[in-house]
Amino acid sequence: MGNRSAGLAPFAPHALLAYRDAFASPGAVFAMCEDYRASAGIDLEHDRADIERGLKVACPLRVLWGEQGVIERCFDALDEWRKVARDVSGHALPCGHYIPEEAPQLLLAEMRAFFETDAS
């Protein structure tokens, strides 16, 4: 986690402890690896099949990513999501990979605006 642009600075001590506790749970790291493995395997196959059939996510989709992260450097995130979803909006936030930890107030504002909740 500390190898990204912000290092460990965005993480409060209690948050790091929560991550460490979660990673120590039996099977947690295995499950995380399986999720990544599926995204490069069976999930990708399913996505390609949906694209071939013209199926797209029908609900509105807000896409957020860190402007200091790999998504900003390597992809046009909105263009990529528009290949698989009908109603896509979003933009980069001034942070790296860990948006909730690095830009919590901006993320909260984005979520409230997207879900049209009362900010009070």
Instruction: Give the span between the Cα atoms of 74 and 27, in whole angstroms.
Output: 32
The low-confidence residues of the chain, meaning pLDDT below 50, are: none
Instruction: Give the span between the Cα atoms of 107 and 102, in whole angstroms.
Output: 9
DSSP 83: T
Please report which helix (H) or strand (E) contains residue 114, including its range: helix 104-115
Written as one string, the DSSP assignment of 16-77 is HHHHHHHHHSTTHHHHHHHHHHHHTTHHHHHHHHHHHTT--B-S-EEEEEETTSHHHHH--H
pLDDT of residue 120: 54
Tokens of 62: 């807000």
- End-to-end, the C-alpha distance of the chain in Å comes to 33
Tokens of 65: 């990513």
Q: What are the extents of the domains in the chain?
A: 11-55, 56-120
CB 93 within 8 A of CB 99: yes
Percentage of the residues of the chain whose pLDDT score is greater than 90 = 77
pLDDT of residue 118: 57
Tokens of 101: 């930890």
